[in-house]
Structure 1
Amino acid sequence: METPSHDPNGLSAAIRQSPPLDVSLPYDASRVKGKTIVVTGGASGFGAGFVREWANNGANVIMGDINVEKGDALARQIRKETGKDNVHFVHCDVTDWQSQVNLFKEAVRLSPHGGIDTVVANAGIAPEPDELLHPKDLSAAEPKAPNVKTIDVNFVGVAYSVHLAYYWLPRNPGAKACSIDSDQRQPRDRHILLIGSLASLAPLSLSPQYGATKHAVLGLFRSLRATTHVHGIRINMVCPYFIDTPILKLPVRIFLAGGGMGKVEDVVEAATRFVSDSRILGRALVVGPKASLKQDDQGEWKVVDYGTPGSEVKALWEPYADDWHEQDAFNRNIAKALNAVQAARGWGGWALDVVRAVGYLFWGSK
């Protein structure tokens, strides 16, 4: 990480957010060794990439997935490769609360130290055209209820995972409240990693449900990272672009034809940076197609030939790198305005609002 450059009296310092990441610096994946990591949706895609990478580096990984055949096969394969019993599969439907509770209980039972260090809310379904806002049959007497499975999986399931993480992470034996001053080699952790999407940052017109859920994950991330100082739990997020995995269906691949897609290994790299370094708090990384880029005089990135002097090859970008820092002035102005309104109304305004509140309790809005 870079040396902190934030105002020590600013909001970034107050919420214990670490400084922007320098992804050109190396990271040590071996620091996941000995950690117990729960991964939802770990049987395929980059979820499977996470499981394999962290297990190969000595972590104890418990993956939950609705696909029993794939999940069980992956666990057996990795155990055979590593010669260790450090990968476990547990059937889990993330949309079912009790199913997730069972996953976390089983993870604690399977953990060598009886606790959980990191929870990766990875389970999700791919974007596809939906009818959330566009009913097909306008001649019907009334529209059919839309299929909201995407919302159930991509956000309700994530909310369940986060809720359970906030219960079990503080109970992790030997874990301390997170801090940017932590020893990055400490074995115990309290960490939530959310998997968003580039659709967290930009609209996805063909799949409004998917875009809405990924915007919701971003909102969850930005809200929760402001409470790190309260819970002592660090939270980070990875936002992949379209990644070249079997989950991408033919229409999406045709839509992306002529462009570029991200690679699973780059998503795994981004996630491993977060999991392996307990000093990283409240950061996010976008994973896009790898390209050779160079900044012009205005600071804009331009695609250039590989080997161009001053260029760098990158697939990882950090959104919201300085948003708290940049928002400090805005937030101060809003706070001043609200305080000024309160001061102008005085105690009389306070008393009137209290009377109205009590009256609303008894008589409603009438």
Structure 2
Amino acid sequence: MSSNNPESLSAAIRQSPPIDVTIPYEAGWVKGKTIVITGGASGFGASFARHWAINGATVVLGDINVEGGQQLARDLQNETGQSNAHFVHCDVTDWQSQVNFFKEAAKLSPHGGIDTVVANAGIAGADPVQSPRNMEAAEPQKPNFKIMDVNLTGVLYTTHLAYYWLPKNPGSEACSMESKPAERVRDRHLLLLGSVASLAPIVMQPQYAAAKHAVLGLFRSLRATSHPQGIRINLLCPYFIDTPIITTPARLALAGGAMGKPEDVLDAATRFVADSRILGRALVIGPKMHVKQGEDGQWSIVSKNVPGSEERAVWEAYADDWEEVDIFDRNFIKLINSVEAARGWAGWAFDIFKAVAYGFGYGQRRT
């Protein structure tokens, strides 16, 4: 096998073909699945839980936010008219807390097993790596690495437990590209939450970027070695998405550009969870843009009236596929910069106004 042949490498790791996001899938394929979601009380986790519960899945939410998680589970049970949403307290940085969460999730599952684990819990915030608090102190103070604890150690705990519970899922089989998602209910699926920070550096956020780079490395390693357990593993890499995790300073820094929409992250996640034929793929979610692919394979921003153009926000992340990492990164960032240039000073001013208003509590999303 030639190490220079990406097709041979894909075959070796049993990676499914690149995802054509224009091909529809059915959200209803999640019906009957039991899905475990860390960080499920708010943000992406809450939107995942609501959409999948409405489409017939049983969702088990784990979070440190007890009040929010319990309320969401009650709301979902009322919306669906079924007992298919549950909350269990879970601190992802605490090993025993995660162990208890998974054990309870299996008990709550109608069939006694877990079909999909979504390692969603994550935080962002002030990063102390480059900012010692007191430069005059006799010696440096120990930094707070909570971001790394949640975004990496917590994910590793979740992954370890997923690899224990998923193969034990009653009635499940080893995952395959020949799967029929409309018929296959039982699954063995781990969905990791990365970020654009998995693919490129984020200024002034070295700890967050390091954790998300590590999640990408975890994904790339596991997808090549998951065959004995028959587990399929996929990765979401959102760009900056318009959610409360984007702070006011971050919004000020991003002014003039564009952010992605939560509904596009939900769409990408649902495709992964619903379509059991997808193995070892990653999707980047960015702002919606009208683009056209040239003969050289590169994408460019164009008017929506240009023949052959399309609007898209979800991209197959060739960045993690062996040889094209630099090509994809350059082209994706070029598109983001083109969006900023197209919006001009008016877009910058509008975003500055929104960011300041956001700091005063206006426009913040509530789950």
Normalized against structure 1, the TM-score is what? 0.84
Question: What's the CA shift string for 1:77-135, capped at 9, x where partnerless?
Answer: 11111111101011111001111111101110010000000000000002x33121332
Tell me what 1:177 maps to.
174
Tell me what 1:90 maps to.
88
Tell me what 1:78 maps to.
76
Q: 1:321 to 1:281 in 2, by over 3 A?
A: farther
Question: Which of 154, 159, 164 lines up with 1:162 in the alignment?
Answer: 159
TM-superposed deviation, 1:169: 0.4
Amino acid at match of 2:63: D
- Distance (whole Å) between structure 2 residues aligned to residue 97 and residue 300 of structure 1: 45
Q: 2:142 aligned with 1:142, yes or no?
A: no
Question: Which of 9, 12, 16 lines up with 1:14 in the alignment?
Answer: 12
Tell me what 1:260 maps to.
258
Tell me what 1:316 maps to.
314
Q: 1:271 to 1:9 in 2, by over 3 A?
A: closer
TM-superposed deviation, 1:247: 2.5
Q: Would you say the 8 A contact 1:20–1:322 is kept in 2?
A: no
RMSD of Structure 2 on Structure 1 (CA): 1.8
- Distance (whole Å) between structure 1 residues aligned to residue 319 and residue 287 of structure 2: 20
Question: Which of 246, 268, 271 lines up with 1:270 in the alignment?
Answer: 268
Tell me what 2:341 maps to.
none
Q: 1:134 to 1:282 in 2, by over 3 A?
A: same
TM-superposed deviation, 1:140: 1.7
TM-superposed deviation, 1:303: 1.4
- Distance (whole Å) between structure 1 residues aligned to residue 12 and residue 175 of structure 2: 14
* SS of corresponding position for 2:226: helix
TM-superposed deviation, 1:139: 2.5
TM-superposed deviation, 1:326: 6.9
Amino acid at match of 1:14: A
- Distance (whole Å) between structure 1 residues aligned to residue 37 and residue 120 of structure 2: 6
**Larger-gyration structure (1/2):** 1
Tell me what 1:68 maps to.
66
After the TM superposition, list the runs of 4 or more consecutive aligned residues in structure 1 that deviate by more than 3 angstroms.
Answer: 324-327
Q: Would you say the 8 A contact 2:172–2:186 is kept in 1?
A: yes
TM-superposed deviation, 1:302: 1.5
Q: Would you say the 8 A contact 2:6–2:322 is kept in 1?
A: no
Tell me what 1:288 maps to.
286
TM-superposed deviation, 1:205: 2.1
- Distance (whole Å) between structure 1 residues aligned to residue 78 and residue 192 of structure 2: 29
Amino acid at match of 2:315: W
Question: What's the CA shift string for 1:116-173, capped at 9, x where partnerless?
Answer: 00000000002x3312133243322110011000000000000000000000001000
* SS of corresponding position for 1:244: coil
Tell me what 1:40 maps to.
38
- Distance (whole Å) between structure 2 residues aligned to residue 120 and residue 9 of structure 1: 28
Q: 1:9 to 1:48 in 2, by over 3 A?
A: closer
* SS of corresponding position for 1:229: coil
Tell me what 1:248 maps to.
246
TM-superposed deviation, 1:9: 7.9
* SS of corresponding position for 1:103: helix
Tell me what 2:113 maps to.
115
Amino acid at match of 1:264: P
* SS of corresponding position for 1:105: helix
Amino acid at match of 1:161: T
Q: Would you say the 8 A contact 2:116–2:273 is kept in 1?
A: yes
**Structure 2 runs not aligned, ≥5 long:** 326-367
TM-superposed deviation, 1:280: 0.5
Amino acid at match of 2:312: K
Q: Would you say the 8 A contact 2:242–2:260 is kept in 1?
A: yes
Q: Would you say the 8 A contact 1:10–1:325 is kept in 2?
A: no
Tell me what 1:26 maps to.
24
Amino acid at match of 2:284: V
Question: What's the CA shift string for 1:4-63, capped at 9, x where partnerless?
Answer: xxx898121122110100001111110000000000001111111100110010000001
TM-superposed deviation, 1:320: 2.8
**Structure 1 runs not aligned, ≥5 long:** 1-6, 328-366
- Distance (whole Å) between structure 2 residues aligned to residue 8 and residue 162 of structure 1: 26
Q: 1:230 to 1:77 in 2, by over 3 A?
A: same
Q: Percent identical across equivalent pairs? A: 67
- Distance (whole Å) between structure 2 residues aligned to residue 85 and residue 36 of structure 1: 12
- Distance (whole Å) between structure 1 residues aligned to residue 320 and residue 158 of structure 2: 27
Tell me what 2:57 maps to.
59
Q: 1:133 to 1:251 in 2, by over 3 A?
A: closer
Q: Would you say the 8 A contact 1:293–1:314 is kept in 2?
A: yes
Q: 2:157 aligned with 1:151, yes or no?
A: no
TM-superposed deviation, 1:221: 0.2
* SS of corresponding position for 2:129: coil
Amino acid at match of 2:261: K
Q: 1:140 to 1:230 in 2, by over 3 A?
A: same
Tell me what 2:353 maps to.
none
